[in-house]
Chains A and B, each alone.
Chain A
Amino acid sequence: DIQMTQSPSSLSASVGDRVTITCRASQSISSYLNWYQQKPGKAPKLLIYAASSLQSGVSSKFSGSGSGTDFTLTISSLQPEDFATYYCQQSYSTLWTFGQGTKVEIK
């Protein structure tokens, strides 16, 4: 299995902050990396696919970068609606796996 490790597991930030979340794969996955946002009691929402492509309808304040084993999700200016848990997910292998999640909380 390809293990996905996110850091940090949680973070506290203020409205307007620039936030960066990191995801590391246990082996190279090229750009087969997606990012999701999940709010309590809701299904995850796809934000970024193929490491850096913005899903249709998603705000451009979200951006993704990286390839190989190291990836980042950046929120350019954190807004109240962005407080949520974020997950990375690889689609390189036939067993798709998620990171453990990063919870973004209000400072």
Chain B
Amino acid sequence: QVQLQESGPGLVKPSETLSLTCSVSGGFISSYYWSWIRQPPGKGLECIGYISNSGSTNYNPSLKSRVTISRDTSKNQFSLKLNSVTAADTAVYYCARVGLGDCSGGRCYSAFDIWGQETMVTVSS
């Protein structure tokens, strides 16, 4: 059974870089797409971006200039880096597996089928 375990600091200073790692057990990260999602306190869910099974990435345009998602296949981990953070980046951050279904016309049915536990990250001096 695939499980995701997030790790990283819960407090980051303004203008610094938020770094989180998601360790995957029970499956290989090279077989799936993986994503980071965040949820500001009391608000809805926002997809930050994903990394594909081939290592290509896709980011939310609103965050694209500040975000990097990478992976380490030797450790079966993928990571999030968000630089120049502000209070607006305070949120619960989740890592998730992207399950892929049937594909047609260049599109594949996909959904976040396995999630890590929530990691609250506060941006404050």
Point out residues on A near B: beta carbons under 8 Å. Answer: 1, 31-32, 34, 36, 41-46, 49-50, 55, 87, 89, 91-92, 94-101
Contact = CB atoms under 8 A, between A and B. Distances in A.
Contacts of A101: 44-45
Contact of B60 (A42, A46, A89, A95): A95
Q: How large is the interface on B (under 10, 10 to 19, 20 to 34, 35 or more residues)?
A: 20 to 34
Nearest to B60: A95
B113 A46 contact: yes
Interface of B: 35, 44-47, 58, 60-61, 94, 96, 99, 101-102, 107, 109-113, 115-118
A46 B111 contact: yes
Contacts of A98: 44-47
B58 A43 contact: no
